[in-house]
Every structure is written in C-alpha cells, then in structure tokens.
C-alpha cells in the first residue's frame, strides 16, 4: 500500500513512535465483523466478541455473505467493528427504555440505523435519512430486512430538517468524510485523498451540522462520527460547534483493554480508533449536549389535519391478525398500501409525511387490489409477523437461494395460498401457489445476481451459526 506522502507526514507527527505499528497494521487484511439481530437470531454464536457492543462478533475470515439466506432475512448485518462503538454513546448518556425521537442523518447503507433500532424501545421513533436517492433506497431495504417497525426512512437534505424545529432528542451524524480510516478496505478512498479534500470535507461537515442543529431539542444529544483520523474533520469540528452553540461536551467511560484512544481539544472529548490498537478500522466519535432545558410544546385545541388516513374497517379486519400485538399499531393506508405504525407514533409519523420526503414508514403490510390483499415483503421480514396466520414452507439451502434469485422453485401441494417461505426458521418472503404453479414474489430489485457455486454447503460453512 503506497500511502500519500502528506498523509504519512501528518500521521507520523500525530502518532510519533507508534507510526510504524500503524503502517504495519494497514498492510494486514481488514477484520470481518457482524452484528446480530437478536429478535431473529437470539442464540450465542461461538465467535470472538466485539467488546464495545453486546451483539457484535468477529469472523475468522470473510465468507460468501451473499449466499447466506439469513443475511437476506435480516438475521444479522455485516458491519465494521469500530463503528459499533456508537452503542456506548447511546447507553452511557440515555435511558433507552424511554420513548425517544432519534435522527440518523447520514444513514445509508444502514449499519448505524439498524444498530440504533436494536437498542431503542419499541415506543421510540428512529428517522433514518439519506440525501442521495439511490442510497436512500438501499437504506430502506436494509431497514425493512431488520424489521423493527418503528423506523421512518427519509430522503432529505440536512437543511430540510429545519421544518421540524426541536423535534429530535438525539441526532447521530456520521458525516461524509475523507475516508482515511477505510484505506485498507477501500483503495479508491486512498486514491481520492488529498489535503484539499480534507479541508473541503471539514467545511462540508460544519455546514451539515449547522443545517440540522435547529431540529435538535434543547438538552438533546448530538453524536458525531467520521471514519477518518485528522483533527480538522474531528476534534476541531466538534469543538467549533460546541463553542458556536455553547454546547456541553460529554465524555464516555472506556475499558483500557479496548484500545480506544481518548482525546481532548478545547474541553471536548473525542474517541479515536487506530488499526494497530483495536481490531477494526479507523473511526472517531464525540458527544455533546445542546444547551438549554426542553419544554414540551403545548398541544393545540384545534383539530389537526392529518396526511395519513386510517385503513378502512374491512381492510383492517383482514390484516389485523397478520401481526403480533395488533393493538399496538395504527393501521394506515397511503395510496394502495396498508401499513402498521406504532399507535403512539402516529402523530409524529404524520408530521414527517407533511414536512419531509418519506421513502418508507413503519411496516408495509399489504397492497390493496380491489377486494384482494397482497401481503408485502416488509410483513414477511417484520419482527412482529404472526407466522401462524399463514401457511409456511421451510426451504433447503439451494431452494432458498433460487428463491432469492427470483427463480422458479417447486413446492408440493395444489392450492391458491399465499405461502411464507423460510430458511432455518428465518422468513425470506412470499410466494403464491396457483394450482401446481408457484409465483415468486421476492422483490426484483433485491434479488441475488451472482451465480450459485456447485458446492453450496462449503460456501456457507464460515457464516454465523448460533448454538
């Protein structure tokens, strides 16, 4: 790996005698880590733990993740270990049993969003945003697979959140950066790196922070992170914001065995991850609290106008038993789609629909087609799916992968049923049996495109398995 010369000079000054170990670490293969979805895969795998999170594990080497149906079912997420440190910021400074409104501003592809969704209470609301439309679609896909049901995916510029003043209790800003911490995983990041790009990124990060700041309530938390090591994009930016807004810097408790380096600049604490000190990639995180005391706005006595409408009684009766705990949900219809949104979040979700570009909200249950209802993919992957309401079929590995490739597969029987297809008890999606023919309803845009190897079992032997 031929590192940029000005980067080498800066890191030599930053690390001193440790620079040699740092450079040697960059020449080694990147570690592989995953984070389990405990609502779908509750067992304890026999794998080394990522120490700063309860659900992260290291794999001995990178398997063919694409060929594991459990990945497509949302049973786990492939995520870089250092970025899982977000869990510490949330656990140490929040009561996660309370109802919270959280914004993940730069959410794609979904690692931090699905992580947050696993940590917050079912009564909390997570808004996962992505400014680039194509990436917002990927974020929605990964959020749907995770199946939490209390997530709204939006596609907005940070400044758009000014329409929601003091709406959020917590903001997570994993800011677009120069990508220094990803050099060994992504050679393109190294090719695009320059001192000029670092400065441009730092300026853009400041603009993003100021654009979205008004949507954070007084007393709320901002968790800022990057995958880079320079001061301009990290300590200097967050210290600048804290000074601009008179925000309170917050610190985190560290286990020395983790190898995370604590830093400080103008009273602001930061936490750096170097590959020669931790089993992970480059990462930085800092936490500040917005000044002031939050006062909940008084509710107006005027009758509100809602953009969302409740599903009709007839449609609701047809889908009511498709979810566990149906009384927890408001059944709404937007266009031809019936969705389930936690009842206590109805007004907040409606406010998002009125002010933001919403890609996806809650759990899309069914599509109305005249008097018929078609169950949707999000229902199959929901953590609240009532499997007993449907006929289910467990597929072997080859059939599961052919289904995920949107190919024809055979199932015995002769009926006109919707069938919930599963692999090792993990729901994959729907098929419709019409006589002796089976129609594959797996989403076309999600399908596996790689060719299947001859020896499928060997391709899976390194993937996560719970005891």
Give catalytic status of residue 106 as yes or no. Answer: no
pTM of the shown model: 0.96
d(CA 150, CA 168): 15
Residue ranges in the chain modelled with pLDDT below 50: 462, 466-467
Distance, CA of 54 to chain centre: 16
Q: Has 95 been labeled as part of a binding site?
A: no
pLDDT reported for residue 467 = 47
As beta bridge partners, residue 372 has 369
Q: Which residue has the tokens 């005391």?
A: 293
Q: Which residue has the tokens 């200097």?
A: 236
As beta bridge partners, residue 333 has 309, 338
Upper half-sphere CA count for residue 201 (Cβ side, 13 Å):
24
- The two tokens of residue 450 are 């790689």
* Residue 455, SS3 per DSSP: coil
The domains spanning 81-290 and 306-389 adopt the same CATH topology:
no
- The two tokens of residue 48 are 């080394």
Please write down the HEC assignment for all residues of 341-380: EEHHHHHHHHHHHHHCCEEEECEEEEEEECCEEEECHHHH
pLDDT reported for residue 461 = 56
Q: Give Cβ neighbours of residue 86 (< 8 Å, ≥ 6 apart).
A: 112, 115, 116, 172, 223, 225, 285
Q: Give Cβ neighbours of residue 159 (< 8 Å, ≥ 6 apart).
A: 211, 212
Sign of CA dihedral 354, 355, 361, 367: positive
Say which of 106, 177, 227, 463 is annotated catalytic. 227
Q: Has 104 been labeled as part of a binding site?
A: no
Number of residues that this document lists for the chain: 467
Say if residues 17 and 172 touch (Cβ distance below 8 Å).
no
Distance, CA of 446 to chain centre: 17
Upper half-sphere CA count for residue 269 (Cβ side, 13 Å):
17
Radius of gyration over every alpha carbon of the chain, rounded to an integer in angstroms? 23
Q: Give Cβ neighbours of residue 275 (< 8 Å, ≥ 6 apart).
A: 22, 25, 26, 28, 184, 281, 282
Upper half-sphere CA count for residue 329 (Cβ side, 13 Å):
27
> Class of the 306-389 domain?
alpha beta
Which residue, 292, 209, 206, 211, is CA-closest to 248? 292
Domain coordinates in residue numbering, the chain: 81-290, 306-389, 391-459
As beta bridge partners, residue 337 has 334, 367
pLDDT reported for residue 124 = 98
DSSP-assigned letter for residue 305:
P
Q: What is the pLDDT of residues 186-211, one digit of tens each?
A: 888 898 999 999 999 999 999 999 99
* 109 upstream amide cis, omega within 30 of 0: yes
d(CA 270, CA 447): 41
d(CA 317, CA 313): 6
Say if residues 117 and 150 touch (Cβ distance below 8 Å).
yes
- CATH of the domain spanning 81-290: 3.40.50.150
> Cβ–Cβ contacts within 10 Å for residue 40, how many?
19
Say if residues 365 and 389 touch (Cβ distance below 8 Å).
no
pLDDT reported for residue 75 = 97
DSSP secondary structure string for all residues of 427-444: EEEEEEEEBTEEEE-S-G
pLDDT reported for residue 462 = 47
What is the widest separation between alpha-carbon atoms in the chain? 72
Q: Has 130 been labeled as part of a binding site?
A: yes
Determine the topology of domain 391-459 in CATH. Nuclear Transport Factor 2; Chain: A, (3.10.450)
pLDDT reported for residue 459 = 59
DSSP-assigned letter for residue 214:
G
């Amino acid at each position: 790996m031929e590192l940029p010369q000005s980067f080498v000079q800066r890191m030599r000054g930053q690390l001193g005698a440790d620079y040699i170990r740092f450079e040697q670490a960059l020449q080694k293969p990147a570690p592989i880590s995953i984070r389990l979805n405990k609502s779908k895969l509750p067992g304890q795998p026999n794998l080394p733990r990522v120490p700063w999170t309860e659900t992260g594990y290291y794999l001995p080497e990178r398997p063919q993740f694409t060929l594991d149906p459990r990945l497509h079912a949302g049973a786990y997420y492939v995520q870089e270990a250092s970025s899982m440190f977000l869990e510490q910021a949330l656990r140490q400074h929040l009561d996660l049993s309370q109802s919270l409104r959280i914004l993940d501003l730069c959410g794609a592809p979904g690692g931090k969003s699905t992580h947050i969704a696993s940590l917050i209470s079912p009564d909390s609301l997570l808004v996962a945003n992505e400014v680039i439309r194509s990436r917002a679609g990927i974020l929605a896909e990964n959020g749907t697979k995770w199946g939490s049901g209390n997530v709204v995916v939006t596609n907005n510029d940070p400044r758009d959140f000014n329409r929601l003043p003091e709406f959020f209790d917590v903001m997570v800003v994993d800011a677009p950066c120069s990508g220094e911490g990803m050099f060994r995983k992504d050679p393109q990041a190294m090719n695009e790196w320059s001192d000029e790009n670092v400065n441009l990124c730092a300026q853009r990060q400041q603009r993003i922070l100021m654009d979205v700041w008004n949507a954070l309530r007084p007393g709320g938390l901002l968790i800022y992170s990057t995958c880079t090591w320079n001061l301009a994009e990290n300590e200097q930016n967050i210290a600048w914001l804290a000074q601009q807004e008179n925000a309170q810097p917050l610190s985190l408790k560290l286990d020395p065995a983790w190898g995370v380096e604590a830093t400080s600049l103008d009273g602001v604490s930061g936490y750096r991850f170097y590959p020669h000190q931790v089993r992970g990639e480059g990462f930085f995180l800092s936490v500040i609290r917005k000044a002031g005391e939050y006062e909940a706005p008084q509710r107006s006595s005027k009758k509100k106008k809602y953009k969302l409408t409740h599903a009709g009684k007839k449609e609701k009766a047809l889908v009511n038993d498709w979810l566990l705990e149906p009384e927890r949900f408001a059944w709404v219809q937007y266009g031809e789609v019936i969705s389930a949104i936690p009842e206590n979040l109805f007004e907040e979700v409606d406010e998002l629909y009125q002010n933001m570009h919403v890609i996806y909200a809650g759990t899309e249950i069914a599509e109305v087609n005249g008097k018929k209802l078609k169950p949707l993919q999000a229902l199959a992957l929901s953590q609240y799916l009532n499997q007993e309401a449907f006929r289910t079929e467990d597929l072997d590995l080859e059939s599961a992968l052919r289904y995920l490739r949107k190919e024809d597969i055979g199932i015995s029987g002769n009926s006109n049923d919707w069938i919930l297809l599963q692999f090792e008890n993990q729901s994959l999606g729907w098929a419709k049996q019409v006589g002796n023919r089976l129609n594959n309803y797996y989403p076309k845009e999600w399908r596996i495109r790689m060719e299947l190897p001859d020896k499928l079992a060997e391709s899976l032997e390194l993937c996560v398995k719970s005891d």
